[in-house]
Amino acid sequence: MITIKTLLADDHALIRAGLRDALTSLPGIEIVGEVGNGPDLVQALETLQPTLLVMDVNMPDFEPVAAVQQMRVQYPALKILVVSAYDDQSYVVGLLSAGVNGYHLKDQPLSDLHLAVRRILDGGRWISDPLVNRLVDQHSAPVESVPSITRRQRELLYLLTQGYNNQKIAWVMDLSIKTIENHLTALYRAIGVESRLEANNYANKHPEVLLVPESEKQGRPEIHGESLNVLVLDDNPRYRAQLAKLLGKTWPQASVHEANDCQEAVRLAEKVKPRLAFIDVVLKEEDGIQCARRIKSVSPTTLMVLISAYPDREFRRMGLNAGAVAFLDKKDIDAATVRQVVEDALAR
């Protein structure tokens, strides 16, 4: 069987984990590398020479259309599948025109992702069904032109999409609040909007103009000041205490709530509405995946991370299908992993 060397590119580790679990179930797929930004992607393509690239297009230091055009020159045989949350017509058309082999929406079923990979590896092209319908419906509509805006305005627009107020933007950009207000006025004028809401709507339609500021790329320090409720469900009190201690050490602002069984976990989740929950898959006479569903029913905004000392592939599949954002092997959980999980949770 021919091995398909596959490279994953997405700036969220949890999403890469989900893609990795989904794709390794396909015969012949070998994940040879993972990257989270533009420069690392360039280096990985040169070093690893993959057959298939599965990538998001909204990464730090990455201009997707120009990058794809360059890939087509340097690696003409490379198969490129975009897996993105963005469904704007002009964005999709631009990337397809630049040379990607497929465009898949992140909210589509796992089975569709498998079909997408098979289709492009067989020499075809792939577009998610909702995009096909939209492109057909809007085929005769003119494509909106994107005005030229400065680097600082692109960074400012990105920070607006993160929900930052003027004070927080001023802190991140190391400018005065008055200067930020002036920049906002100029940005609104440049993109033809009159409010934050309209600016966010514009960014959703034109994600290619967003630019992550340098200060945001270096550990997102401003997030570290946020408080965080975390639920830990594990029937092993020793491991539960170790994980709670690791969370507290890695993220001092975290309030960790421990539960020994599902009933206690559901009660705590209903009371504190945790942002993040670590749930052991195998509990005494209980199913951790079913318990995750119960927790989600009383606290819909909680992000579920399933953990297990038995990293069975079927457990992973069932857990991710149940809505978990990640499935972690207990032996792999360390300070770096916990920090990445928490940062991804706060960034959602």
pLDDT in tens, 234-282: 988 888 888 888 887 777 777 899 999 999 999 999 999 999 999 998 8
CATH architecture of 4-137: 3-Layer(aba) Sandwich (3.40)
Asked whether this chain's domains 4-137 and 221-347 adopt the same fold, the reply is: yes
Q: Is the pLDDT of residue 341 over 60?
A: yes
50: left (phi over 0), alpha (psi -120 to 50) or beta: beta
Q: What is the pLDDT of residue 107?
A: 78
Q: What is the pLDDT of residue 222?
A: 41
Quick: pLDDT tens for 73-99.
999 999 999 998 877 666 687 788 889
Q: What is the pLDDT of residue 270?
A: 92
Q: What is the pLDDT of residue 106?
A: 82
Query: 236 and 119 in contact (C-beta within 8 Å)?
Result: no
Query: 230 and 305 in contact (C-beta within 8 Å)?
Result: no
How far apart CA 210 and CA 187 sit, in angstroms, is 12
**Residue-range domain boundaries for the chain:** 4-137, 151-217, 221-347
**Low-confidence winner among 116-125, 134-143, 331-340 (lowest mean pLDDT):** 134-143
**Low-confidence winner among 23-27, 157-161, 286-290, 318-322 (lowest mean pLDDT):** 318-322
Q: Is the pLDDT of residue 220 over 60?
A: no
Mean pLDDT of the chain: 82
Q: Is the pLDDT of residue 347 over 70?
A: no
Q: pLDDT above 70 covers what percent of the chain?
A: 88
Q: Is the pLDDT of residue 145 over 80?
A: no
Residue from 97, 2, 117 nearest 55 by CA: 117
Q: Is the pLDDT of residue 137 over 70?
A: no
pTM of this structure:
0.45
Handedness of CA 34, 37, 38, 40 (dihedral sign): negative
Residue from 189, 248, 251, 209 nearest 226 by CA: 251
Q: What is the pLDDT of residue 211?
A: 80
Q: Quick one: fold of 221-347?
A: Rossmann fold (3.40.50)
Q: Quick one: fold of 151-217?
A: Arc Repressor Mutant, subunit A (1.10.10)
Q: What is the pLDDT of residue 346?
A: 65
The mean per-residue pLDDT over the stretch 192-203 comes to 84
Q: What is the pLDDT of residue 219?
A: 46
Quick: pLDDT tens for 273-320.
999 999 998 887 778 888 998 998 899 889 888 888 766 677 777 777
